[in-house]
């Protein structure tokens, strides 16, 4: 099964996790939310599959382009 890395498009603080490892996700489903510029920006899955790992924790400060999760197609 191919593994796809889900990355954030903005830098900020992880303010919510909407999914957990082992959960099934569809294309466009929210995995986490990043607080940036006083807004909560969703990090969404780009494929349908199962979350293999969530690589961030609540309140982590993350960089633009950082891998947030790995999804198995």
Mean pLDDT of the chain: 97
Per CATH, which fold does 3-72 belong to?
A: OB fold (Dihydrolipoamide Acetyltransferase, E2P) (2.40.50)
62 — pLDDT class (breaks 50, 70, 90): very high
Give me the sign of the Cα torsion angle 11, 13, 19, 20.
positive
What residue spans define the domains of the chain? Answer: 3-72
Measuring CA to CA, which residue among 52, 55, 10, 57 is closest to residue 34?
A: 10
**For residue 50, what pLDDT is reported?**
98
1 — pLDDT class (breaks 50, 70, 90): confident
Tens digit of pLDDT for each residue in 20-49? 999 999 999 999 999 999 999 999 999 999
Distance CA 27, CA 45 (A): 5
Sheet holding 24-25, edge to edge: 3-7, 67-72, 49-54, 24-25
């Amino acid at each position: 099964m191919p593994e796809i890395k889900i990355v954030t498009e903005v830098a900020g603080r992880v303010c919510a996790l909407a999914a957990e490892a082992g959960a099934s996700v569809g294309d466009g489903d929210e995995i986490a939310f990043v607080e940036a510029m006083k807004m909560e920006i969703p990090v969404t899955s780009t494929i349908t599959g199962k979350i293999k790992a969530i690589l961030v924790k609540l309140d982590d400060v993350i960089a633009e382009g950082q891998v947030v999760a790995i999804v198995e197609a």
